[in-house]
Amino acid sequence: MTPTAVDPQRLRRLRALFDDCIELPAATRRAHLDQATRDDPSLVAEVLALVAAEERAAGLEPERVHAHIDASLRQLLPDAVVPGMVVGAYTLEAEIGSGGMGRVFSAHRSDPGIDQRVAIKLVRREVLGASALQRFRAEQALLARLRHPGICQFLDTGTLADDVPYFVMELLDGAEPLLVFADRHALPLDARIALFRKVLAAVQYAHQSLVVHRDLKNSNVLVLPDGQPKLVDFGIAKSIAESVVDARTATAERFLSLASAAPEQLGGGPVGVGCDVYSLGILLYELLSGRPPFDAATSSIPELIERIVHQAPVSMATAAQALDDAALTARHLSRRHLGRSLSGDLGDIVLRCLRKSPGERYPSVEALDADLERLQQGLPISLRGSDRVYRLRRFVARHRLAVALGAALALSLVAAAWIVSLQNIRIRAERDQAEQALAILREAFLSADPARMGGELVSASDLLRATLPQLEAHRAQQPLAFATLAATIAEVMLELGLSAEADEVLDRVVAVQAQTPLPEDLRARVGILKARSLVAASALDEADAWLGAEPPAAPELRTSWLIERGRWLVRSGRVEDALAVLGQASATRSESAADDALLAAGRRAEVDALLRLDRLADADATLALLERHQSALPPLHTQHLLTRMLRIVILRRQGRHDDALALARQVQEGLESDFGTDSPISARGRVLVGNLQLVRGDARAALAEYEAAWKTQRSRLGESHPETLRTHVNRLEAMQALAAPRTVLDREYEQLYRHAVARHGAAATFTAFVLRLWAESLLAAAEPQRAAELLRSQRAGTALSQASESERNAHRKLLARLP
């Protein structure tokens, strides 16, 4: 039976020696073994016995081996190519490399008169099929085209007697892989970058020659002792034109190296320049940080694929933390300054190479090289502008616009289906036009794609606005399509907080309605949207008229209506009624999906109402309910941000100011990245942060936030929009805390008063409230006389005539403190 315990290590060695010997000519085996087993001569006999058994078996009882096994065995016969063999004008010396398809030998001219050494690549016999042959010839043809100091030079080509093709290349004597070279020479970071730029020059040249390498990795970038890198192994390279068309040939992909493959190579997507940029990023990452971003050694294949396709790599600074002191010293790095050395611009450059989508990476190796050059010269890199585009793209891809565009398309299809159902020739003509309008809309969205606008910053609202004129042109011809799409755009604008613009768009739809009857649901939807924009503008009576007394029948619309009615009731001061209505709205959606925007909107309105009633505990509980419902959403989902804005208010009311401020900062960052810095929603986030800073006594920081928010609101919503006015008030509060000069404050109050009148009228609660604040500020500045004059003025009298009871009381109380 089985002999005593087998030593795995010895067994592995046995196998390696056996494999060697099988490949060697019989005469040389003994010498090889003797040399390789000096420490354990007992191996010699064992290996030779195995080899002998193998050779007997190979020639033994062929009839026992089925035909198909025979065929497969023939494939496995050791390659006949061995050192000493003559290939064309050359004699093979030793195998110096082997890849998936080919083996590379060093060789010298057989003619002793010519002293020339070369490398010869032969295709492996066992993979020698039609497709392998084709690929081998393709590599040869590509390589013959390339002539660059950074690319291993092609010299000659030919075939062996049995038609096995080979080609002759420059021999890279003493060359070692890039990472090995850099570490062995203990190159500091700047020398590494300089070396890497030489690699880039070669790749750039290949790209200009319309060749993508597709397998750029450490072992394919060899550096000569003089520091000149050379690209080798264009085995799966392709001409650029070809690779775009022929992206899904899976055969070649089998040979690529997983850890440095771009996500689109794994996914079978189109492979182009971006894939080389990605692999260069992987290489640069490891060259600088000492670690691969995705380590094949420490994860299983499915894990690795998952990480390559979905996960962002950790920062280089973090990766480099794992280096030992010797490795750090070799890079002239200190542990304490890792962050400074490897993050910032350098980190951004590498991460941009590693973006998952090719369109988000550097568009060319040239652009990458240009950034590295600027970095070396201490100049600002190109990334800033493009980074904004990246963030916007992320927004477009992940959030509202994608959803909105999807919704717009879906709705147009509904509209089209409705028209088709009427089966009327005139209407059918309109259907064709509707489809045209749809095409126009799609075109408008696509033409505003930031990636196509050459780095120009495009905000979401710009995008929406850009579609309107295109749509407008079709209003007369296709009123129904126009109304459907315009209503959708208005809805998205409202979600982006652009209530003033949404209102204008809705008015255009209403104008259509005057001439062409719109379907019932569309009419109801426009009414609800109109009410939403009017409530946002504090035009409550008008909003009431648009809503009407009864909700529409369609379930989605009914919920929307209930929420809008609830918001209206809150603003009208009927908060208890609002809670009842909003409760109905939530009840219709309580079983819905985690990303249900309607349920979330309803719950948030409920929380808002509860806060107005000072029912803090109930508000807390209701918000927690929503948070639980949304816990299944991905962590960066926009809905979380909107929900957290309320959580901030609650934390503040609970006196947890530090928690509130921390959360507010986080939310603010998310809002800016999702909605853009200049969106009214981001402005709301800034106001929240400002409020908390003011509570903590940091008026200067608060003022900076208010100013930024105010600027956005004035340009996006208008000077006298209720949100703009509220921020104006906050701003003045901060200015007072900072003891701004009296003249400046008076001028500001005058301005605020005018805008209040423009929005709410001379006789209104808010107008009275502004005058009272002004008087309080005068009193605080020890000018009681002027405060008294202001409160007794004609302006104040008019304002109070229509003001709420509580505002009148406040005025009375203040007057009592004045002379």
Partner 1 sequence: MGVEPAITGLLDRWKSGDRSVENELVRWIYPTLRELARSQMRRQGQALTLQATELANEAYARLVQQQGVDWKNRDHFAAISATVLRRVLVDYLRERSAEKRGAGAERITLDGARAGEIPGAGDHFDWLALDQALNDLARADPDAARVVELRLFSGLEVEQIAAVCHSSTATVGRQWRFARNWLAQQLQLDTPQ
Binding site for partner 1 (CB under 8 A): 1-3, 5-12, 14-15, 18-19, 22, 46, 49-50, 53-54, 56-57, 60, 64-65, 68-69, 72-73, 75-76, 100, 124, 126-127, 300-303, 305
Taking CB atoms within 8 Å and a gap of at least 24, the contacts of 52-57 are 54/18, 54/22
Using DSSP bridges, classify how beta strands 117-123 and 229-231 pair: parallel, antiparallel or unpaired: unpaired
CB of 132 to partner 1, least distance (A): 11
Q: How far apart are CA 197 and CA 39, in angstroms?
A: 46
CB of 699 to partner 1, least distance (A): 57
CB of 78 to partner 1, least distance (A): 9
Question: Of 222 and 256, which has the nearer Cβ to partner 1?
Answer: 256
Question: Of 61 and 541, which has the nearer Cβ to partner 1?
Answer: 61
Taking every pair of Cα atoms in the chain, the longest distance, rounded to a whole number of angstroms, is 123
Question: Of 244 and 305, which has the nearer Cβ to partner 1?
Answer: 305
CB of 49 to partner 1, least distance (A): 7
CB of 434 to partner 1, least distance (A): 42
Q: How far apart are CA 57 and CA 71, in angstroms?
A: 15
Please state the separation of Cα 156 from the chain's center in Å.
46
Residues sharing a CB contact under 8 Å with residue 804, sequence separation 6 or more, in sequence order? 573, 765
Measured CA distances, 396 to 399, 451, 708 (Å)? 6, 11, 24
Q: How far apart are CA 224 and CA 215, in angstroms?
A: 20
Q: How far apart are CA 774 and CA 161, in angstroms?
A: 100
Q: How far apart are CA 657 and CA 650, in angstroms?
A: 10
- Residue 169: which H helix or E strand, with range? strand 165-170
Taking CB atoms within 8 Å and a gap of at least 24, the contacts of 430-435 are 430/478, 430/480, 430/481, 433/474, 433/477, 433/478, 433/481, 434/478, 434/480, 434/481
CB of 58 to partner 1, least distance (A): 9
* Radius of gyration (C-alpha) of the chain in whole angstroms: 37
Question: Which one, of 207, 345, 229, lies nearest residue 276 by Cα?
Answer: 207
Q: How far apart are CA 97 and CA 31, in angstroms?
A: 23
Question: Which one, of 126, 131, 120, lies nearest residue 160 by Cα?
Answer: 120
DSSP letter string, 784-797: HHHHHHHHTSHHHH
CB of 303 to partner 1, least distance (A): 8
CB of 628 to partner 1, least distance (A): 25
For 633, the 3-state DSSP assignment is coil
Question: Of 255 and 418, which has the nearer Cβ to partner 1?
Answer: 255
Question: Which one, of 752, 674, 147, lies nearest residue 459 by Cα?
Answer: 674
CB of 186 to partner 1, least distance (A): 36
Question: Of 47 and 598, which has the nearer Cβ to partner 1?
Answer: 47
Question: Of 27 and 250, which has the nearer Cβ to partner 1?
Answer: 250
Question: Of 56 and 426, which has the nearer Cβ to partner 1?
Answer: 56
Question: Of 69 and 446, which has the nearer Cβ to partner 1?
Answer: 69
DSSP letter string, 73-120: HHHHSPPS--TT-EETTEEEEEEEEE-SSEEEEEEEESSTTS--EEEE
Ranges of H-type helices in 572-596: 575-589
Question: Of 26 and 301, which has the nearer Cβ to partner 1?
Answer: 301
CB of 308 to partner 1, least distance (A): 13
Question: Of 60 and 744, which has the nearer Cβ to partner 1?
Answer: 60
For residues 187 and 108, the answer to whether their CB atoms sit within 8 Å is: no
CB of 302 to partner 1, least distance (A): 4
CB of 67 to partner 1, least distance (A): 12
Question: Which one, of 206, 216, 252, 520, lies nearest residue 366 by Cα?
Answer: 206
Q: How far apart are CA 736 and CA 749, in angstroms?
A: 11
Question: Of 61 and 614, which has the nearer Cβ to partner 1?
Answer: 61
Question: Of 57 and 473, which has the nearer Cβ to partner 1?
Answer: 57
CB of 15 to partner 1, least distance (A): 5
CB contact burial 295-332 (16+ within 10 A = b; e otherwise): eeeeeeeeebbebbeeeebebbbbbbbebeeeebebbe
Question: Of 296 and 758, which has the nearer Cβ to partner 1?
Answer: 296
Question: Of 1 and 130, which has the nearer Cβ to partner 1?
Answer: 1
For 256, the 3-state DSSP assignment is coil
CB of 632 to partner 1, least distance (A): 18
